[in-house]
């Protein structure tokens, strides 16, 4: 499963194959369609240079020579002007946003910026993609106009658009990097503007092994399910009188989809949901009102008591993805702020231990994870990102601020964490196979500070940093452009826990006991 991870500041970096945009005309003229066959020369060569050393800061020569560490991370400059890929093809192409533009811009991004750990032959990736596209589009590639400057003309049918997107998806996927993938028009629009809001319960769900029903694995604090009193470990056995009973012979994937369809159909019908819910073996009826949820799923916490009577503070961090700032807004760190607030609450309650639950946390913004980690390990909170040109940028925590600084001293920025605090007691971190990216780096920071990680091996994308870049014709791509380091050591592909504990969903559903949370309690006795 691909995960679309957010870049720093959640800003899309604008790349374009067009050096200059001409003045619009009211009635765009249909361009002449070349009929010459494709040739390899239609996609110009793009040299790939990997600097295995460090960027030579003394060789700077104006804007063009600025290191990637600056060009990719300069905050408002990204919003205001972006970094444009000027294409030598512009004078050759009759119109913008052609199939030629799409392939050439993609090739330019990959060869100039990709810095992941994939071992594939990128030259072969480009050539295979070109040849595959050539079979379905035999004319000159600049004759296939996906859209003009004003998105009012195209000579490519919707079916051909889908075919192009399929080829592009195969093209970028063949790089074999989970953080590097292609996004068509719909995915690009959803990434930039968000999906159309629909009512939800605000829960994550899973099947109960060998049983019917949908198990709640997490519940959003501001969601309808939480308001109705539902919590992790509850099992939905029926919805509006329709029982969620397993169908004989149906595999887990199809059974889960069938149960989810019952839920989505009930929500789409409108009105409240009458849910038959099992909690630790006892069945009750709960009424919930699905609602549209906006903003971020924020951290929350509460004091809990283990089986021996000892009190612990349970701190749930569902994501490090805060809402992307708009151009007119200042950048803030609401998730980090909330973590510090909850840590202060834990201190006021007089507990000695905190369990930080990052299970199913898919990652988010670097500034959020660094700010949050600083509540527990301020001296090691942070990371360094290194780029293909040898440049780097460091993220650290200093005096209540997440501090950014590039290796050449050309750019720095501070993002304030409001009302910062520091935890002095014991900490354990819970992770699972869906903990990814920023949550993996957070876990690594706390491990460096001597705290233990409990759970299962994580997803495995914390070793790199990702950026979303625009492509021609309202497409885009996510690319691994940086390698991450903590304390000058490369971050591992995934986090292997100090204490292995796989979530026992059957036990959770039957008894309400969270075995991985219990394992964390045992580590702090």
Q: Quote the CA–CA distance of 159 and 389 in Å, as a whole number.
A: 39
Predicted pLDDT at 192: 80
- For the domain covering 300-459+494-523, report its CATH number: 3.90.226.10
For the chain, 525 residues long, give each residue's pLDDT as a single digit of tens: 333 322 322 222 222 222 222 333 333 334 334 333 444 348 989 999 999 999 999 877 655 578 999 888 875 333 222 223 333 333 333 346 899 999 999 999 999 999 999 999 999 999 999 999 999 999 999 889 997 656 667 899 999 999 999 999 999 999 999 899 999 999 988 888 776 789 999 999 999 999 999 999 999 999 999 999 999 999 999 999 999 999 999 999 999 999 999 999 999 999 999 999 999 999 999 999 999 998 899 999 999 999 999 999 999 999 999 865 443 345 789 999 999 999 999 999 999 999 999 999 999 999 999 999 999 999 999 999 999 999 999 999 999 999 999 999 998 999 999 999 999 999 999 999 999 999 999 999 999 999 999 999 999 989 999 998 999 998 999 999 999 999 899 999 899 999 999 999 999 999 999 999 999 999 998
Pairing of strands 499-500, 452-455: parallel
Token pair belonging to 64: 């063009």
Report CA-CA distances (Å) from 324 to 7, 186, 453.
10, 19, 29
Query: Which 8-state DSSP code applies to residue 58?
Result: G
Predicted pLDDT at 491: 93
Determine the straight-line distance between the first and last CA of the chain, rounded to whole angstroms.
Answer: 38
Q: How many CB atoms lie within 10 A of CB 160?
A: 16
Predicted pLDDT at 63: 52
Q: Which fold has domain 203-288?
A: Pdz3 Domain (2.30.42)
Pairing of strands 401-406, 412-416: antiparallel
**φ/ψ (deg, to 5) at 491:** -70, 135
Beta-bridge partner residues of 205: 216
- Sketch the domain layout of the chain as residue ranges: 66-84+95-193, 203-288, 300-459+494-523
Considering only CA atoms, which of 97, 118, 98, 101 is closest in space to residue 181? 118
Q: Quote the CA–CA distance of 15 and 30 in Å, as a whole number.
A: 26
Considering only CA atoms, which of 473, 508, 436 is closest in space to residue 154? 473
* Confidence (pTM): 0.85
Predicted pLDDT at 306: 94
């Amino acid at each position: 499963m691909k995960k679309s991870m957010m870049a720093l500041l959640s800003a899309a970096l604008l790349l374009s194959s067009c050096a200059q945009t001409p003045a619009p005309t009211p009635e765009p003229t249909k361009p002449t369609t070349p009929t010459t066959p494709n040739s390899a020369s239609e996609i110009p060569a793009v040299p790939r240079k990997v600097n295995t050393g460090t960027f030579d800061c003394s060789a700077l020569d104006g804007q063009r020579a600025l290191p990637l560490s600056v060009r990719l991370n300069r905050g408002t400059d990204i919003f205001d002007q972006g970094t444009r890929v000027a294409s030598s093809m512009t004078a050759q192409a009759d119109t913008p946003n052609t199939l030629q533009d799409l392939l050439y811009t993609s090739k330019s991004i990959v060869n100039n910026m990709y810095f992941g750990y994939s071992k594939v032959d990128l030259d072969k990736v480009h050539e295979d993609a070109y040849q595959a596209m050539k079979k379905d589009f035999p004319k000159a590639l600049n004759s296939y106009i996906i859209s003009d400057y004003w998105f009012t003309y195209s000579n490519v049918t919707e079916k051909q658009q889908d075919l192009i997107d399929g080829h592009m998806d195969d093209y970028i996927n063949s790089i074999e990097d989970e953080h590097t993938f292609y996004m068509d028009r719909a995915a690009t629009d959803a990434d930039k503007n968000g999906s159309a809001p629909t009512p939800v319960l605000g829960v994550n769900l899973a099947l109960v092994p060998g049983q019917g029903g949908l198990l709640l694995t997490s519940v959003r604090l501001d969601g309808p399910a939480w308001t109705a009193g539902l919590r992790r470990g509850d099992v939905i056995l029926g919805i509006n009188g329709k029982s969620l009973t397993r169908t004989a012979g149906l595999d887990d994937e199809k059974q889960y989809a069938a149960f989810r369809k019952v839920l989505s159909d009930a929500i789409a019908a409108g009105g409240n949901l009458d849910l038959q819910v099992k909690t630790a073996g006892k069945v009750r009826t709960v009424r919930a009102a699905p609602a549209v949820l906006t903003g971020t799923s924020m951290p929350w916490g509460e004091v809990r008591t283990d089986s021996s009577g000892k009190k612990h503070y349970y701190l749930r961090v569902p994501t490090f993805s805060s809402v992307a700032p708009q151009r007119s807004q200042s950048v803030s760190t609401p998730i980090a702020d909330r973590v510090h607030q909850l840590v202060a609450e834990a201190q006021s309650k007089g507990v000695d231990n905190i369990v930080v639950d990052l299970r199913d946390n898919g990652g988010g913004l670097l500034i959020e994870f660094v700010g949050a980690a600083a509540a527990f390990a301020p001296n090691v909170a942070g990371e360094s990102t290194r780029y293909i040109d040898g440049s780097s940028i460091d993220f650290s925590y200093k005096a209540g601020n997440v501090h950014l600084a590039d290796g050449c001293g050309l750019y720095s920025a501070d993002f304030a964490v409001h009302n910062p605090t520091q935890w002095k007691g014991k900490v354990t971190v819970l992770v699972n196979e869906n903990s990814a990216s920023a949550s993996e780096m957070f876990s690594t920071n706390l491990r460096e500070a001597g705290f233990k990680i409990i759970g299962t091996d994580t997803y495995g994308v914390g070793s790199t940093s990702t950026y979303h870049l625009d492509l021609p014709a309202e497409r885009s791509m996510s690319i691994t452009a940086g390698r991450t380091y903590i304390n000058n050591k490369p971050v591992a592909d995934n986090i292997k826990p100090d204490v292995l504990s796989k979530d026992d969903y059957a036990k959770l559903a039957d008894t309400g006991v969270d075995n991985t949370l219990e394992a964390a309690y045992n580590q702090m006795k």
